[in-house]
Structure 1
Amino acid sequence: MSVVDLVVTGIGVVSPWGCEPAKLRLDGEPATGAEESWFDLTAELGARGYKYVPPAARYLLAAARRALADAGPVLAGVPEVRRGLALGTNSGIASVIDAMDETVNGPGADLLSPARAPYFSINTLAGRVAMEHGVKGWNLTLTSPRTAGLEALLAGTRAVRAGRSDLLLAGSAEAPLPVHAPGHERSEAGAAVLVLEPRATAVARGAAGYGACRTVAFFLPPHEAASTAAARTVTAAVARLLGEPAVLPAVIHLVTDPSPVGTALAARLQQLGARLDVVPAGAGTLQPVLHLVHGLARPGTVRLVVTASPDGACAMTLLQPDQPADQKRDFA
């Protein structure tokens, strides 16, 4: 596997927190966006062709369009078979599946909508974007609780470095959980997509990037989260990400909850000298990715975005902006 220096050249966001990456309002409790009043379907995708597309797919399509527009004419130089896509989601189709179950258990499967039926599979969210933008190299959907959005960056970067593609779209998409589902009150809605390409390619086409991202993922067994072994796991993950001696960034966003895993992870990072901005987690994968794109779009400060789920999944992404705060992005 060759070492390819990837840079983020495009960011697209649609969310109830805002749609401009540098101006996202991420303070306080996660917004649900359940009424979808914040999303203008016609403005984002057009008046036709998306009536029966589920909300998460609409959000993802809109964010991908925004990200590719932001990146400039990047697709023109990359054959379709050299494009890849990695998506993280937890509740992207939860309401769709819930409605299908209600139909099957009630009036019967014959009344399932032919237009909605394909979305029984979580992979169709990424597949819909792949069809629209000619992503024919590979596409992958990850569903690890809470961490899947950051893991999409990790998996996608590995695929590019392994030679499977020359362009990566990566991000997260969520839709509100059914009202009766556990965690509905913490539902997330929206999508965030990043365009990543080799730095040499971006320079050759005259694109100014936002910066680089590096991600590590690890697991803390919930029943042993406070153990010495778990502490060593966190320390080793920090060392893999930052090198040794590890110097933690001044800005660290920890998206988590008061579960044993989240509490133990916060304690260990503080023992390593971290000053944490602890962010209440939503029910899905979107919140960490929104903090990631918000950090990249506000250049000048190295940041660390960390997240953990009660199940033990953990991930950290280091953001290294390319530009000083007063430099304007532009394309040749």
Structure 2
Amino acid sequence: MSSAHSPAPARREAVVTGVGLAVPGLTLPDELLGTVREGGFDPRTGLLGRDLRHKDRASRLALRTAAPALRDAGLLGEDGSAGYTGNGDATAVVVSSNFGILDSVCSFADIIARDTVLGLAPMGLPQTSSNVIAGSVAMAHGLRGPSVTLCNGPTSGLDALYWARALLVAGRAETALVVGVEPDGEAVAKLLGAAAVDGAVALVVETAEHAAARGARVRATLSGCARGADLTAAVTAARAGGPGRTDGAEAPGPAVDLWLTDRPAGEESAPEDPPPVRAAAVLDPTASLGLCSGALGLLQAAAAVAHFDTHAAHTALATCGGPEDDAVAAVFLSGPARTA
């Protein structure tokens, strides 16, 4: 018997191959970076249609962003008539939404208070389940892999990327449709004290092997994902590659080309501490979009992908959460011309 050790298994890279937006006033991801175009998505007209009847607002927004993302990844025909062309059994849906069903739950609570449970409409009951958004997207496109919804506060969007990557690395799926959505509504406005973004964003994430096999265009690589007690801990863990790295390779260092944050300038770290990241440029999407909550991390990732479209060799870091939250999430992304 040979005493030679078997080589360590190759790491399954997670890459982004498609992006879709359903954000008021925006059409393409580069508009998250400041590109200006006329028109853009309008929820007043963009959420109509027979396919959206009897669905809650968050699910309608998610469906409106899922199709463009799948089409961008080459997994859906131009008019959608051909249906999903990937392997539905190996495609996961991961959704991030902190307030997606809040209006539905409050509405049903009001009905019960007024008319008892006899006043409830059976068709509306699924809208009180957090996973109704993921379920709606999965059923619309025949995606039968794992279906997951996260609703755990400011880090939720980046956590969704974390779990999508984990599903791919673990071999539970070969493709994941990751959606971040936050609808505006009366209950949401009362809770937050301001309007939410009333939009959605979707990313198609798949293994590098699967993307290469079907000839897909790689837009970005998820080089490392992690959560930590504070910004420094999260960035350090993500820089090391996060869960799933088995080859001991170094991830991008603390100097990045673009830092996507949700912290106002000067609040990233304590004044006496050195900054945990050196960035050539810093962008906070909430400055132009307002409260994004569970959609924020994925909007950050979409902005990074748009950045890589014109700066292929760059790296980006997305971070969400701060001292007032239970954790900070960090995700390193690399342009297609640079590998981790």
CA RMSD of aligned residues (A): 3.2
Specify the alignment match of 2:47 in structure 1.
41
The question of whether the paired residues in 2 share the 8 Å contact of 1:86 and 1:168 is answered with yes
Match of residue 68 from structure 1: 70
Aligned counterpart in structure 2 of residue 313 of structure 1, from 319, 323, 327: 327
Q: Is the 8 A contact 1:176 1:184 kept in 2?
A: no
Matches within 5 A, 1:18-37: 18-24=26-32, 36-37=43-44
CA distance in 2, matches of 1:232, 1:298: 24
CA distance in 1: counterparts of 2:169 and 2:150, whole angstroms:
19
TM-score (norm 1): 0.79
1:141 aligns with 2:149: yes
Change (3 A) 1:266 1:163: farther
What amino acid sits opposite 1:48 in the alignment? R
Name the aligned partner's letter for residue 47 of structure 2.
Answer: L
Q: Residues 256-275 of structure 1: matches in 2 within 5 Å?
A: 256=263, 264=269, 270=275, 272-274=277-279
Select 1:162's aligned residue among 147, 156, 170: 170
Contact 1:84 / 1:168 at 8 angstroms: preserved in 2?
Answer: yes
Corresponding residue SS for 1:185: coil
> What is the aligned partner in structure 1 of residue 260 from structure 2?
253
Distance 1:57 1:272, change over 3 A: closer
- Which of these residues, 159, 177, 181, is aligned with residue 190 of structure 2? 181
Q: Distance in 2 between matches of 1:15 and 1:135?
A: 24
Q: Percent identity over the alignment?
A: 23
Q: 5 Å matches for 1:276-291?
A: 277=282, 279=284, 280=286, 282=291, 284-291=293-300
- Higher mean displacement: 309-318 or 80-89: 309-318
Decide whether aligned partners of structure 1 residues 238 and 70 sit closer, same or farther in structure 2, where only a CA change above 3 A counts.
Answer: closer
Distance in 2 between the 1:252 and 1:171 partners? Answer: 21
- CA distance 1:141–1:174, shift in 2 (3 Å): same
- State the one-letter code of the partner of 2:67: R
- Write the letter of the residue equivalent to 1:70: D
Change (3 A) 1:48 1:196: same
Q: Gaps spanning 5+ residues in structure 1: where?
A: 28-32, 221-229, 325-332
**Post-superposition offset of 1:208:** 1.3
Which whole-Å deviations, capped at 9, do the CAs of 1:54-103 have from their partners, x for residues lacking one?
A: 11100111111111111113786643221111111101111111111111
For 1:321 and 1:21, the matched residues in 2 are separated by 15
Match of 2:3 in 1: none
Question: CA shift at 1:186, angstroms?
Answer: 4.7
* Higher mean C-alpha displacement, 172-181 vs 84-93: 172-181
Q: After superposition, give the CA deviation of every residue in 1:143-170 in whole Å (9 maximum; x if it has no partner).
A: 1102111111111111111111111111
Q: 1:121 to 1:76 in 2, by over 3 A?
A: closer
1:2 Cα shift? 5.8
1:224 corresponding residue in structure 2:
none
2:113 corresponds in structure 1 to: 105
Report which stretch shifted further, 70-79 or 294-303.
70-79
**1:260-308 CA-partner distances (Å, limit 9, x unpaired):** xx65479857255456736347251112321210220232132111110
Which position in structure 1 is the counterpart of 2:236? 236
SS at match of 1:252: strand
1:225 is aligned to none
Once the two structures are superposed, residues 304-324 of structure 1 have per-residue CA deviations (whole angstroms, 9 ceiling, x without a partner) of 111105322211122212169
The whole-number CA distance in structure 2 between the counterparts of 1:271 and 1:83 is: 36
Q: Is the 8 A contact 2:180 2:294 kept in 1?
A: yes
CA contact (8 A) 1:234 1:268 kept: no
C-alpha separation in 2, matches of 1:80 and 1:268? 48
